[in-house]
Structure 1
Amino acid sequence: MRAPLSWLREHAALPDQLTASALSDALISAGLEVETVDAAGADITGPVVVGRVLSFVEEPQSNGKTIRWCRVDCGDHNPEGEDARGIVCGARNFAEGDLVVVSLPGSVLPGEFAIAARKTYGHVSDGMICSVTELGLPDDGGDGILILAEGTVGELAVPLLGLRDDVLDIAVSADRGYCLSIRGLAREAANAQGVEFSDPVDHDVPAESSAGHPVRREAEENSLFVAVTVTGVDPTRPSPRWLARRLQLAGMRPISLAVDITNHVMLETGQPLHGYDADKLSGAIVVRHAAAGEKITTLDEVQRTCDPADLLITDDSGPIGLAGVMGGASTELGPDSSTVVIEAAHFDAMTIARTSRRHKLSSEASRRFERGVDPNAAHAAAHRAADLLVELAGGTKQEAETISGTVSSLAPVQMEADLPSRILGTEVPTARVVSLLTAIGARVDDHGSTLEVTPPTWRPDLTDPYDLIEEVGRQVGLDTIEPRLPVPPPGRGLTRSQQVRRALSAALPVAGFTEVISFGFMSDKDLAALRIGAEDERRRTVRLVNPLSETKPYLRTTLLPGLFEAVLRNTSRSTDDLALYEVGSVFHARPDAPAAPRPPVDRRPTDEELAGFAAALPDQPRHAAAVLTGSWQPAGWAGPAIPADWTHAVRFVEAVAGALGVVVQRTAAQQAPWHPGRCAAFTVNGTVIGHAGELHPSVVAEVGLPAGACAAEIDLDALAASAPRRGDIAELVSFPVAKEDVALVVDTDVPAAAVEQALRDGAGELLESVRLFDVYTGDQLAEGKKSLAYALRFRADRTLTDGEAAQARDAAVAEATRRHGAEQRV
């Protein structure tokens, strides 16, 4: 919000000596974020004065141009002994006797345009007659010199035209929507300086009336609609210079008198307004929800397809506006509009925010409605605009008006009188608390030990005692409150979750993987690209009420879409050799989850409420996932490049499991989005915890990944649950290991992991490890057979004899024979 200091002074009795910089510091201390203080017009220096054109002579030139040699009276600024200055001017839109702005030699105009007496077209031009653009004023559509309607010859033009002003540019947070207005900022400035404040909203909304233009409200999201009609408007009248300049300083572009008036009142009061050409309206104005597929052409000349959740302003012809966002082109005020119906309405903030985001259409009106508009300002704002149309456009305000709806007071808040002192840590007497809350517009009833505070209608954010305490602290000055850091209790070391996280952070980069962090959102399109079926648990999505982007409205149920986007960003910049991983939560909706409770904030939630929170939340397991593309090892002097393939995706899972001290079993599987013949499932204690392998070619093609891309994703929480804890780690044994190798012949369709598990189960407690080190198929074996060679290592709390090691080995082979028909190869 850009606020000219001169405008703030109209409503706050700020001291004359108060500078914009000092006011900025005061507002910052009050909790507002003043980004810059701009000195508008400070680049105009030197004598710029009002002059009167006494006479001129038109002189055609050889280049085809006609110039005017003018005699301009500049009063006390005329050369000594002269009654005028001679000035060459190329514009021709002024006449003798007109008042103009003259930039005299020695002055500097915007853009570091220095003025000096110089010889041109056979004359010495002793100054320059200025246009609006040369003075930095908004273009009024005129072609040439600025003609003044009033002024005194020789008077300084900068203060006359309001060229010099300080403008505070303030970033308004979402909970301070009232500061998106001069009214709100002037109140803050007055409170910060301890001076009087004059409220431009000078009365409440009267009782309902239907005497004006007919209005029908059919949506509960519209609680109030005020319609005031002004007839006899002269559409040819331009906006006065002060109005156009004020809008320009506030960051808006002047358009036409009627539109400029509505924008001016919106900036002043915070209440968005819209003007309809009454002659283009057909029947009553109706506020309703859109029908599916209904279309509207908005003022930006874009045809938009409406959603049933959109709130529309309509008449008998159909939609004439997106409520709270932008008006429609069909009833737009034009150069022939003489009767104006002024709308001042109040709409639900969330509804307007969703419509604005849905249509990617942010306007000055929607920005204010999203943050909360004072409903009590609607009637005063509509009449303020009507009065300006009467004053500046020659219109006549109709007494008959329409007021549909009412303004409800905010619920009172009960607060212990000494609570601000206890929470802020500094003494704030009750009388001062009452005074500070009254200054922000609240009504305070002092009941001794408690205060009953009714927030003003423009502060819907004040809903509990601690909101009020924040306001008190802000007014007292947060810099005056002594900071006291809480003393943390002694810790118990890292949590299990932290231990897992640090173990992965140490192990995975060593294994060749790079960590990335992606947004935790996705869409139906992402799930469809992964070829995930309707019954898959990854379809149990949680939709956000207010997503950052409508294109990704769900919390993620898998980490892969975020990793895919990271890959695409890198490959678009010619980085193709990638091994990226992410550790983060996924979210699976609970179909039978109840609604979450909403306890007050002035106490700790009860155990029942905490249990209600837990029951309402989705399942949130942590996953670890990786995506690999390109080369695992680039080509070099040591040999050719090694492409990243499914073995490296498997290596990722085994690196995670190894970092946690867990042994996982690997079996062939079919699972989207992996290639059905190149996918491995990983199990721990018989439970599948994830998959790894080469991605399905159709998934790779649809997402746009490099050919042959591989991926892995596992349930990290399920894996960590099986990991040994600190007390479960076996002690180091100093006795030697007994080594036994076996080669088993099995059918080619028997998984090596299944044979390995059989060996583990059969070997008993003496087995320390088993590792597959060779797979052979060839002429020495029968067709349909393969040989699997395993290295078995045995250890005990004593030195094992050869017989004990052989007995354990034979037991392991016997179990593999029983389960899979394995034959020992000699």
Structure 2
Amino acid sequence: MKLSLSWIKDYVSIPEDTDLKKLAYDLTMSTVEVEDVEYLARRFDNMVVGVIEKIEAHPNADKLRVCKVDIGGGEVKDIVCGGINLKEGMRVAVSCPGAVVRWHGEGEPVVIKNSKLRGVESFGMICASEEIGLGELFPSSQEAEILDLSAFDVPAGTPLAKALDMDDVILEIDNKSMTNRPDLWGHYGIAREIAALYDLPLVTIDPYKTDVASDFKVEINDPDRCTRYIGVEMSGVGVKPSPYMMQNRIWKAGMRPINALVDITNYVMLATGNPTHAFDADNITDHIVVRHAASGEKLTLLNEKELELCPDDLVITDSEGPVALAGVMGGAKDSILPDTKRVILEVANFESTGIRRTALRYDTRTEASSRYEKAVDPERCDQALALSMKYFKELYPELKVTGFCDNYVKPLKKAEIDVSLSWLAKRIGKTLPNEVIRKKLELLGFEVEIAGDNMHVIAPAWRSTGDISIKDDVMEEVARMYGYDNFEPTAFTTSFDHAINQKDQDLIRNIKEYLAGRCGMQEVYTYPWMNDIFVNAVLQTTEGVLKLSTPPAPDLSYIRCSLLPNLCEAVVKNERYFNDFSIFEEALVFFDKNYSTPYDPAESLPEQRRHIGGAFASSVKNITELFREAKGVLEYMPRFTHMEGFEFKKEEKPVWADNVVWLNIWRGDEKIGDMGLLSKKVSLECGIKNLSVMLFELDASRLQPLKSRTNKFTHLAEYPEVEYDISMLFDSEAVWNDIYDAIMGQKKASALVKNADFVDEYRGKQIPEGKKSVTIRLTIGSGEKTLTSQEIENAANQVMKKLGKKLNAQLRTQ
């Protein structure tokens, strides 16, 4: 937010010798963050008002003129100019050598120098408004139009900043630093804060009073969404330019002046922080009603955006329908028009949360909605009304108030808080005299009563809409007004009794290090939204998927509920450069269910979970190799990341997976993920042309670190161990997990068998139909002696016997 210091001085008399750097520092340390202090006049260094005495034709260019310009001090300079509206006696803005301008208002700034234009010496430059940054304050009607300053009765040579009242200081405030301070969203609020900081008198704005009697009325159907609405019906007005002072201040605050009727409403909003609006009274039928919109009701806004409203929207209506989106923007049909002669002024107060929802729903955030959504207090309507009527009467002496209604349906209740003085002293770390505390709070508008150790505080209206609600808020007010710099720094002590091992926090990090370091995978980061192509291909449904109300692009409307669509998109992008790679991502996913919040139910958030997903893509490996690589990464993950294990089952085929190559990942009775080969159909829909892709996704929030890590020392084998391969015939449906359990389960086939590894699987002419050959590598050894050949054979025979009994396996003989 931009603030004009000269405007602030209308309300508080800041001493002329005040150090502006100190003012900015004090505001930053106590109230809001001042990001920048700009001395506005510096934009117009080496620029003066010149008077054109004579215009002559350029000898070498038909569209150029040679102007003899009085720039003050008895100097008349020749300046070559191509302006189409030049005339003798005209006051113009002259940029002398050393001034900085933008040619035609575009491109990079350039420094003006004496030069020759088509053979004629030219001193400086006669400027258009866009070239010196004043295009919005002095809009030109056509290209090549020079800024005409004839309305400013100043002598030639007057510095341009002085002539245009630009000798001002602009304070730029960080909006985020005052999100919870709706009282500061206007010049008067900042003036009130400065008055409190330096104990200066503040100019009061007396309420507007009228005894107009009429049948004009305002009806409010929802007092919770609209607590107050003041309507003033006036005649004797018209569309004309506002005074330069008003236009200048609106421009300094970062807005664009339009006409007197609109400028008054914007000026008052920038002054008080309370938005106002003016309707063309001739287009308002009957009286004003503030109500919820009907489902499907239409409204065209001032910016020509046509809305289809919903019942959550609050609208201003007449007997024919909506005329404005309450607190956001007026309607095109009933706002100020070129022939407006009568107006209805709206000075209202709307509930903050509803305004924020509406503005976000239609992607229409305005200066008005930005203020209302911070929770403006309804008492401020009195200030906004008083200033509005002051300027209406000044600009329109013939004005007549024909109707007035102040419907204050839900008066504000000021916040009242009891604070223990001993608690206050303990929390701020310093015992302050009671009178110091009282004075600091009273300077801010608080009412204070102290009885013994208790202080009863009543917050002012402008701080009672949520800003001041608990005793900690009062503590903050005392501390910041006393000055944080005035508290002596005190070293605090703490003791660390023992190390804290946060296994839950470490697990995700361990998994990422395992995937990247030990498995050689590349970590990727993707946006939280998903491309519709990959959503339709991979997920094949949008049921339960959250849709963004304002997506970054039309085809990026869904927020991720799975990591796989974005991983497939990453595969497509990398296929151009690599024929064998593996990637993984760890991120939050969102589900349209289980909404919860400790605050307002309307602000509830969807369920969020942390997932880990990966993709193994290759055109050089066959599917078997790719499957083993992916499964191996997952199988060894618990061991290397110190978490509880999981197992693989085939129960629910993922919609994106091949019909054969897939597995579910289970932990106990809960499915926590899937892995499998991306089906050919899905691959083609994604645009994956030549790669086979193996995917996996785990719900990381379901993974559990090992509760303890008890290490037991085991000697390396002191006697030789032997690897012994056996090939056996199993039913085609047999899986490795069952084979391994039969060999190495709780009842081991043989105590001498230390491990069993899968070698390969074979189906062919030599293998009976419905069977497959599995080669198993047994590691056989003893911790007591070197085994004989017969002992090794016996151990292998025990394994084959166990497999035959449990899985109907037979030794392969050919």
TM-score by length of structure 2 reads 0.82
For the residues of structure 2 that align with 1:703 and 1:212, how far apart are their CA atoms? 63
Q: 1:704 to 1:33 in 2, by over 3 A?
A: farther
1:193 aligns with 2:198: yes
Do the aligned partners of residues 807 and 451 (structure 1) sit closer, same or farther apart at CA in structure 2, a change above 3 Å counting? farther
Task: Pick one of 786, 791, 816 that aligns with 2:772.
Answer: 786
Residue type matched to 1:3 in 2? L
- Which residue does the alignment assign to 1:28? 28
Q: How does 1:266-305 map to 2 (within 5 A)?
A: 266-305=269-308
In structure 2, relative to structure 1, the CA distance for the partners of 1:793 and 1:326 (3 Å cut) is same
Partner-residue secondary structure (3-state), 2:494 = coil
Equivalent AA in structure 1 for residue 730 of structure 2: V
CA distance in 2, matches of 1:685, 1:86: 91
**Higher alpha-carbon deviation: 813-822 or 87-96:** 87-96
Task: Measure, in 1, the Cα distance between the counterparts of 2:580 and 2:406.
Answer: 66
User: Of residues 79, 83, 91 in structure 2, which corresponds to 1:100?
Assistant: 91
In 1, Cα distance between equivalents of 2:557 and 2:475: 35
Distance 1:165 1:642, change over 3 A: farther
Q: What is the letter of the counterpart of residue 190 of structure 1?
A: A
Match of 1:656 in 2: 637
Bigger shift: residues 650-659 or 85-94: 85-94
The 5 Å alignment of 1:515-594 reads: 515-516=523-524, 530-531=538-539, 558-561=562-565, 563=567, 571=574, 578-583=581-586
Indicate the residue corresponding to 1:511 in structure 2: 519
Write the distance in 2 (CA, Å) between the matches of 1:444 and 1:154. 56
Deviation for aligned residue 1:161:
2.1
SS of the equivalent of 1:43 reads helix
What CA deviation, in whole Å up to 9, does each residue of 1:138-174 have, x standing for no partner? 2145665222255567765532421222211111222
Q: CA 1:151/1:559 → structure 2, altered by over 3 Å: closer, same or farther?
A: same
Q: Is the CA contact 2:560–2:589 (under 8 Å) kept in the aligned structure 1?
A: yes
Partner of 2:74: 78
Structure 1 CA distance, aligned partners of 2:269 and 2:65? 44
Question: How far has the Cα of 1:496 moved from its partner?
Answer: 2.1
| Alignment of structure 1 residues 203-602 onto 2, 5 Å | 203=207, 211-218=215-222, 220-235=224-239, 237-394=240-397, 396-398=399-401, 400-404=403-407, 405-459=409-463, 460-481=466-487, 482=489, 484-509=491-516, 510-516=518-524, 530-531=538-539, 558-561=562-565, 563=567, 571=574, 578-583=581-586, 596=598
- One-letter amino acid of the structure 1 residue matched with residue 48 of structure 2: V
The verdict on how the C-alpha distance between 1:805 and 1:666 changes in structure 2, with shifts beyond 3 A counting, is farther
CA offset digits 1:16-75 (Å, max 9, x no partner):
122433322222222422222222231333573586x8x868879896669697797x8x
Q: Deviations over 1:252-308 (max 9, x none)?
A: 111222112211111111111111111122233222223333322211112223233
CA distance in structure 2 between the aligned counterparts of 1:647 and 1:511, rounded to whole angstroms:
13
SS at match of 1:381: helix
Give secondary structure in 2 for the equivalent of 1:148. coil
Aligned to 1:763: 748
> What residue identity is the alignment partner of 2:41?
G
Question: Does the CA contact (< 8 Å) of 1:5 and 1:168 recur in 2?
Answer: yes
TM-score between the two structures when normalised by the length of structure 1 = 0.81
Give the partner amino acid of 1:44. F
Alpha-carbon distance in 2 for matches of 1:126, 1:351? 58
RMSD across aligned C-alpha pairs, in angstroms? 4.5
Mark the CA change 1:422 to 1:542 in structure 2 (over 3 Å): closer, same or farther: farther
| Structure 2, unpaired ranges of 5+ | 103-109
CA separation in 1, counterparts of 2:312 and 2:385?
27
The structural deviation recorded for 1:518 is 5.5
The change in CA–CA distance for 1:647 and 1:86 in structure 2 (over 3 A counts) is closer
In structure 2, the residue matched to 1:777 is 763
Selected match of 2:676 from 669, 690, 693: 693
The 1:196–1:769 alpha-carbon spacing in structure 2 relative to 1, beyond 3 Å, is farther
State the 1:397 CA deviation: 4.6
Aligned to 1:606: none
Cα distance change, pair 90–783 in 1 and its aligned pair in 2 (3 A): closer
Aligned to 2:105: none
Cα distance 1:247–1:507, how it changes in 2: closer, same or farther (>3 A)? same
8 A Cα contact 1:623 1:715, kept in partner: yes
* Alpha-carbon separation, structure 2, partners of 1:450 and 1:729: 62
CA gap of 1:779–1:117, structure 2 versus 1, over 3 A, is closer
Amino acid at match of 2:287: A
Using a 3 Å threshold, how does the CA distance of structure 1 residues 106 and 700 change in structure 2: closer, same or farther?
A: closer
Output the CA distance in 2 between the equivalents of 1:522 and 1:156. Answer: 57
2:729 aligned with 1:745 = yes
- Provide the C-alpha distance between the structure 1 equivalents of 2:292 and 2:625, rounded to a whole number of angstroms: 54
- Whether the 8 Å CA contact 2:64–2:81 is kept in 1: the answer is no
Where 1:163 maps in the other structure, the secondary structure is coil
C-alpha distance 410-128 of structure 1, shift in aligned 2 (>3 A): same
Aligned: 1:48 with 2:48: yes
Whether 1:823 aligns to 2:810 is yes
Q: Which moved more, 1:40-49 or 1:264-273?
A: 40-49
The DSSP-based 3-state class of the residue aligned with 1:726 is coil
Question: Relative to 1, partners in 2 of residues 1:545 and 1:91: Cα closer, same or farther, differing over 3 Å?
Answer: closer
- CA deviations 1:187-238 (Å, max 9, x no partner) are 23333334333355x4499999985354443473122211122311131x21
Check the 8 A contact 1:673/1:695 in 2, yes or no. Answer: yes
Q: Higher mean Cα deviation, 463-472 or 215-224? A: 215-224
For 1:238 and 1:754, the matched residues in 2 are separated by: 88
Counterpart pick for 1:162 among 157, 162, 165: 165
Distance 2:610 2:58 in 1: 83
Partner residue of 2:659? 676
Query: How far did residue 176 of structure 1 move?
Result: 2.6
When residues 571 and 777 of structure 1 are mapped into structure 2, their CA distance, relative to the original with a 3 A threshold, is: closer
Number of corresponding residues: 783
**Whole-angstrom CA distance in 1 between matches of 2:26 and 2:353:** 32
Give the CA deviation at 1:771.
Answer: 1.1
Letter in 1 for 2:736: A
Whether contact under 8 Å (1:522, 1:554) holds in the other structure is yes
Any conservation in 1 of the 2:90–2:150 contact (CA below 8 Å)?
Answer: yes
Q: For 1:705 and 1:433, locate their aligned partners in 2 and report how far apart those are by CA, in whole Å.
A: 70
Amino acid at match of 2:416: P
| Change in CA separation of 1:18 and 1:549 when aligned onto 2, cut-off 3 Å | farther
Task: Please state whether the residue corresponding to 2:363 is helix, strand or coil.
Answer: coil
The DSSP-based 3-state class of the residue aligned with 1:421 is: helix
SS at match of 2:710: helix
Distance 1:93-1:233 versus aligned 2 partners, 3 A rule: farther
Distance 2:390 2:127 in 1: 33
Retained in 1: the 8 A contact 2:152–2:163?
no
2:192 maps to a residue whose letter is R
Aligned 8 A contact 2:597 2:605 in 1: no
Which residue in the other structure is 1:609 paired with?
A: none
224-233 or 547-556, which moves further after superposition? Answer: 547-556
Q: 2:44·2:160 contact (CA, 8 Å) conserved in 1?
A: no
Q: Say if 1:66 and 1:90, in contact at 8 Å, map to a contact too.
A: yes
Give the letter for the 2:739 counterpart: V
AA aligned opposite 2:741: Q
Kindly tell me: are residues 453 and 497 of structure 1, through their superposed partners in 2, closer, same or farther at Cα, counting changes over 3 Å? same
**More off after superposition, 131-140 vs 18-27:** 131-140
